[in-house]
């Protein structure tokens, strides 16, 4: 019996060694035998043409394997229960492969169930991803590698990756080179950690400031968004990683900005849709060739976008030339039947989205929940195999382009420890946060503060010693963070006595109801304000840090009012009443209606949602080590009653009402922006001169060269964002009052002059004519150069023959 047992053990050992040897044998010099048939098939040949490889692989796939390439497996602690492969995987649907695995082992800030030993050190993650990839290559019949996806709009969504400010802050930099560099960092870190596809950038046009995701958009103006988006895509994809655009299409303007359970019914006219909301997608796809697009869960004019053949096939692929693969935003497929009610049941919804052009269903549900009804539809002949093959081909094409069939693994996992969040990345993170700051007011040059002239500073406000806003569900986790109070205290050192009193909470107990039915302050709330006021009386300067946090803005968090939440306004008023100068530092994710604050407070600095270096960069800026040069990428309204109030806008659409004349009784409403699009101040001054437009008369398909000079006329170095706007003076359809068609962030030393060059191309002058055709019409155009959409310093005209 003893020898019998030994014999069995030896047999199993030999089988194991044979299996191990067999698995090793799939790896050959220059190619991998993914389907384990001992022959180099066309799809395994890196020298074969891309389409030949795709066609060959599809010809070898069965229905089960094809359907598995059309859905996402959400990673550990979302849907996947396991950190590493195990025997149970052979009983799950992904035994036949999977399109992608999303957010596997990444760690999300504040969500402890996602924390894992495999996310950090970085090499642990790279090795773990290799093991997961190895399972799919070696344990599935065809060995099709996985595309590992992850979020990346605030920096890569991974434990201790390099943090970036919120996209609205990135948009406020107006610095294209900086955005490209940010993209390269996100892409490099993704590649080193084993991710091959990043869900970024967001190209949504933020036209309603009440919408909670304004902070995740670059701004409200489509040309500005497209220029920033192009650089982010190019940066990410320069590292051999796919960039997936979000959210296609007309996603950012749900009715009344209502998000969450609504997410439907955008009120957008067709011409506005093409010229505003689709413009960034069209431009970025044509000029930067992203490999991915995420389809949105809203409808347009009654048709769910994710079930629309027009949006996903005719527009996206046939007109814009997109050749990657489309994933659905969470619940977009389910909403077709459950919310939009254009399908009788979920199974019919699956049919509609696949036939429309969706490639991969992505949501927090098991892959089986999509694959099983899809297989039933195929079996019943309700979806053709030709359609399935087309959808699978798009996914495989991206995997081939990413090199997953040539090198499916992270080559040197240990290198991740040297490639992620380096010293240079930390310095870059500081710089992009600095450049995102916008100086909104600086009466009598109160800023910068002189650390040698101040003895006592009070730092107050609900966000003064808070860091929660420096993290994002869509960005890195667990980086050390510095609050504004900590940053100021550290900067001042022993030179200044820096005190802190919170003053009030971000919201009151009755918020948001208190925004429409005000309630009196409780004795405790008044006591907290009184503490701040008493300390303020003993201070030379007050720095009030107010606004919103991550619980007030973001996905599914739209607002009714745009004033400061809770008791913050009462705190500021009482601080102002002390007679001491108040510097307002704004932490917020959307434009706020700070009319009183703008009228009475001497200095206001807009910081948006900075990342973890918030305190350091704000302190440097307040004390003059850094001269703020950011510009607003969204319009600040004076009241929600003005909404929509944006740039660009149609002639007269944001005008006032006559106070005189035959109808002169219209002085009944507040008009004008609090701060216009493109606005931002500096600690120095600039002068524009010598505008040249050449040629002054051209044919419609020629380029126009525009040049001018910009000079720093102040005493300190600084950045100016020069902006070029174009106005079509007469057109066949009503066009916008003016449109942005060029911008550059320029650094100038005191007294320094630089010459700036822009080129206007034919598509910069296109409009949708009466027949909805893109056309460059003949006539006169005006070029306007300035420091914002309203501060125009130079202008000239040219003619299209």
pLDDT recorded at residue 1: 45
pLDDT digits (tens, 9 = 90+) for 134-151: 999 999 999 999 999 999
pLDDT recorded at residue 666: 76
pLDDT digits (tens, 9 = 90+) for 287-306: 999 999 999 999 999 999 99
317 near 281, Cβ under 8 Å? Answer: no
pLDDT digits (tens, 9 = 90+) for 230-286: 999 999 999 999 999 999 999 999 999 998 888 888 999 999 999 999 999 999 999
What's this model's pTM, rounded to 2 decimal places?
Answer: 0.96
Q: State how far the Cα of 462 lies from the Cα of 588, in Å rounded to an integer.
A: 12
pLDDT recorded at residue 664: 75
Q: What crossing angle do the helices spanning 385-401 and 346-356 adopt, rounded to 10°?
A: 60
Report the percent of the chain where pLDDT is more than 90: 94
pLDDT recorded at residue 189: 98
794 pLDDT band (50/70/90 cuts)?
very high
Q: State how far the Cα of 105 lies from the Cα of 95, in Å rounded to an integer.
A: 20
Q: Using the predicted structure, report yes or no on whether residue 13 has a pLDDT greater than 90.
A: no
12 pLDDT band (50/70/90 cuts)?
very low
pLDDT recorded at residue 17: 43
36 near 26, Cβ under 8 Å? Answer: yes
245 near 294, Cβ under 8 Å? Answer: yes
pLDDT digits (tens, 9 = 90+) for 653-699: 998 888 888 877 778 889 999 999 999 999 999 999 999 999 999 99
State the Cα torsion 513-517-523-528 to the nearest 10°.
60
**Mean pLDDT over the full length of the chain:** 95
Closest to 356 in 3D by CA, of 407, 303, 415, 406: 303
What region, left, alpha or beta, does residue 276 occupy, with left being phi > 0 and alpha being psi -120 to 50 degrees? alpha
Q: Using the predicted structure, report yes or no on whether residue 4 has a pLDDT greater than 70.
A: no
More confident residue, 213 or 666: 213
More confident residue, 23 or 712: 712
pLDDT digits (tens, 9 = 90+) for 678-689: 999 999 999 999
Mean pLDDT, rounded, for 467-488: 97
427 pLDDT band (50/70/90 cuts)?
very high
Q: Using the predicted structure, report yes or no on whether residue 314 has a pLDDT greater than 60.
A: yes
What spatial distance separates the first Cα and last Cα of the chain, rounded to whole Å? Answer: 100
652, two tokens: 């007269």
744 near 706, Cβ under 8 Å? Answer: no
Coil, helix or strand at residue 792? strand
pLDDT recorded at residue 256: 92
pLDDT digits (tens, 9 = 90+) for 26-77: 999 999 999 999 999 999 999 999 999 999 999 999 999 999 999 999 999 9
């Amino acid at each position: 019996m003893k020898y019998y047992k030994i014999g069995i053990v030896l047999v199993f050992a030999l089988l194991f060694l044979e299996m191990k040897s067999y698995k090793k044998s799939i790896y050959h010099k220059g190619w991998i035998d993914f389907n384990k048939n001992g022959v180099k098939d066309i799809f395994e040949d890196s020298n074969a043409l891309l389409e030949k490889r795709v066609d060959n692989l599809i010809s070898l796939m069965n229905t089960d394997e094809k359907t598995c390439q059309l859905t996402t497996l959400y990673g550990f602690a979302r849907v996947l229960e396991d950190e590493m492969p195990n025997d149970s995987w052979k009983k799950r649907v992904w035994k036949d492969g999977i399109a992608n695995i999303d957010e596997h082992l990444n760690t999300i800030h504040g969500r402890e169930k996602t924390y894992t030993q495999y996310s950090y050190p970085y090499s642990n993650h790279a090795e773990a991803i290799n093991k997961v990839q190895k399972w799919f290559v070696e344990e599935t019949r065809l060995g099709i590698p996985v595309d590992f996806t992850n979020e990346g709009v605030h920096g890569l969504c991974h434990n201790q990756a390099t943090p970036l400010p919120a996209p609205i802050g990135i948009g406020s930099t107006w610095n294209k080179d900086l955005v490209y560099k940010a993209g390269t960092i996100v892409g490099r870190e993704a590649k080193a950690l084993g991710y091959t596809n990043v869900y970024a950038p967001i190209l949504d046009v933020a036209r309603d400031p009440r919408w909670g995701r304004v902070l995740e958009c670059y701004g409200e103006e489509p040309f500005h968004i497209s220029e920033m988006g192009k650089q982010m895509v190019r940066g990410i994809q320069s590292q051999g990683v796919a960039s997936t655009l979000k959210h296609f299409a007309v996603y950012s303007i749900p009715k009344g900005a209502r998000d969450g359970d609504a997410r439907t019914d955008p009120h957008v006219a067709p011409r506005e849709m093409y010229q505003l909301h689709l413009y960034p997608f069209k431009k970025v796809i044509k000029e930067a060739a992203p490999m991915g697009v995420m389809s949105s869960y809203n409808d347009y004019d009654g048709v769910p976008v994710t079930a629309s053949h027009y949006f996903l096939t005719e527009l996206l692929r046939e007109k814009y030339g997109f050749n990657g693969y489309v994933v659905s935003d969470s619940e977009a497929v389910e909403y077709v039947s459950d919310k939009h009610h254009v399908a009788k049941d979920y199974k019919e919804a699956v049919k509609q989205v696949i036939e429309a052009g969706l490639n991969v269903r992505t949501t927090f549900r098991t892959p089986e929940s999509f694959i099983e009804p899809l297989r039933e539809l195929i079996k019943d002949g309700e979806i053709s195999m030709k359609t399935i093959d087309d959808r699978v081909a798009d996914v495989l094409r991206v995997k081939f382009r990413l090199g997953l069939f040539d090198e499916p693994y992270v080559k040197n996992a240990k290198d991740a420890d040297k490639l992620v969040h380096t010293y240079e990345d930390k310095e870059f993170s500081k710089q992009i946060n600095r450049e995102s700051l916008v100086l909104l007011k600086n009466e009598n040059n109160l800023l910068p503060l002189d650390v040698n002239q101040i003895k006592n500073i009070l730092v107050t406000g609900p966000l003064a010693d808070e860091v929660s806003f420096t993290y994002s569900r869509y960005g890195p986790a667990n980086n050390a963070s510095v609050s504004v109070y900590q940053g100021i205290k550290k900067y001042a050192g022993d030179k200044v006595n820096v005190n802190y009193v919170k003053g009030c909470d971000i919201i009151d107990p009755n918020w948001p109801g208190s925004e429409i039915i005000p309630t009196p302050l409780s004795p405790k709330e008044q006591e907290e304000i009184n503490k701040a006021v008493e300390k303020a009386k003993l201070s030379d300067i007050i720095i009030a840090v107010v606004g919103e946090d991550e619980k007030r803005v973001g996905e599914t968090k739209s607002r009714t009012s745009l004033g400061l939440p809770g008791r913050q306004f009462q705190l500021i008023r009482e601080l102002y009443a002390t007679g001491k100068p108040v510097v307002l530092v704004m932490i917020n994710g959307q434009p706020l209606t700070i009319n009183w604050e703008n009228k009475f407070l001497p200095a206001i600095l807009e910081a948006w949602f900075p990342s973890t270096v918030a305190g350091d960069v704000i302190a440097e800026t307040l004390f003059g080590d850094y001269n703020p040069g950011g510009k607003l990428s969204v319009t600040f309204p004076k009241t929600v009653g003005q909404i929509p109030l944006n740039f660009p806008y149609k002639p007269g659409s944001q005008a006032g009402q006559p106070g005189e004349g035959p109808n002169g009784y219209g002085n009944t409403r507040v008009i004008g922006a609090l701060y216009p699009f493109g606005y931002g101040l500096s600690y120095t001054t600039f002068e524009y001169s010598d505008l040249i437009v050449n040629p002054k008369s051209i044919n419609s398909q020629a380029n126009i060269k525009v040049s001018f000079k910009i000079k720093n006329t102040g005493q300190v170095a600084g950045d100016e964002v020069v902006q070029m706007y174009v106005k079509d003076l007469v057109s066949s359809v009503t066009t916008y009052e003016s449109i942005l068609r060029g911008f550059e962030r320029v650094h100038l030393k005191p007294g320094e002059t630089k010459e700036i060059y822009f080129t206007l191309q034919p598509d910069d002058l296109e409009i949708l004519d009466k027949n909805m055709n893109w056309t460059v019409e003949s006539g006169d155009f005006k070029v306007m150069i300035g420091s914002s959409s309203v501060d125009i310093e130079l202008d000239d005209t040219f003619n299209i023959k």
